[in-house]
């Protein structure tokens, strides 16, 4: 099993979420986060002053999937989060040792279905 974490633009959330659901991947966790990448932030202007916003709002998606589903999920996220501009985000794939559904006690891939 894998845990897929994707940091994406806020405005791409609904597009990515809909594409995942259309392909049968309903379960996910969404968090509002702030961060910066290579661009280091952006320069904003307010009246005559400039200031740097170095932590930009982003969305973090977390999805637990079987090894077989991993590539499909990554492909969907990449295709639908893409704008071609700096700051589109990153995808991290983390090996997952165990998953347990609290309500039923099921574990492994049975617990994520």
Burial classification of residue 72, based on how many CB atoms lie within 10 Å of its CB (0-12 exposed, 13-18 middle, 19 or more buried): middle
Return the exposure string of 8-21: e unless at least 16 CB atoms fall within 10 Å of the residue's CB, then b. Answer: bbeebbeebbebbe
- pLDDT tens digits for range 30-41: 999 998 887 776
Could you please report the per-residue DSSP string of 51-67? EEE-SEEEEEEEEEE-H
Q: What is the pLDDT of residue 75?
A: 98
- pLDDT tens digits for range 40-97: 767 777 778 877 777 889 999 999 999 999 999 999 999 999 999 988 999 999 999 9
pLDDT surpassing 80 at residue 98: yes
Q: What is the pLDDT of residue 37?
A: 80
pTM: 0.86
- Give me the domain span that covers residue 62: 2-112
Q: What is the pLDDT of residue 3?
A: 98
Query: Phi, psi at residue 49, to the nearest 5°?
Result: -100, 145
Query: Which CATH number covers residue 96?
Result: 3.30.70.120
How many structural domains is the chain composed of?
1
Q: What is the pLDDT of residue 41?
A: 67
């Amino acid at each position: 099993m894998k845990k897929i974490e994707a940091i994406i633009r806020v405005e791409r959330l609904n597009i990515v979420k809909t594409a995942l659901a259309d392909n049968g991947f309903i379960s996910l966790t969404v968090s509002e986060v702030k961060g910066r990448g290579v661009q280091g932030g952006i320069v904003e202007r307010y009246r005559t002053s400039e200031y740097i916003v170095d932590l930009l709002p982003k969305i973090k998606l977390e999805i637990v999937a079987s090894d077989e589903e991993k590539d499909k999920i990554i492909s969907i996220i990449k295709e639908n989060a893409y704008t071609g501009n700096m700051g589109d985000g990153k995808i991290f794939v983390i090996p997952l040792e165990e998953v347990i559904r609290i309500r039923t006690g099921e574990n492994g891939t049975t617990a994520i279905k």
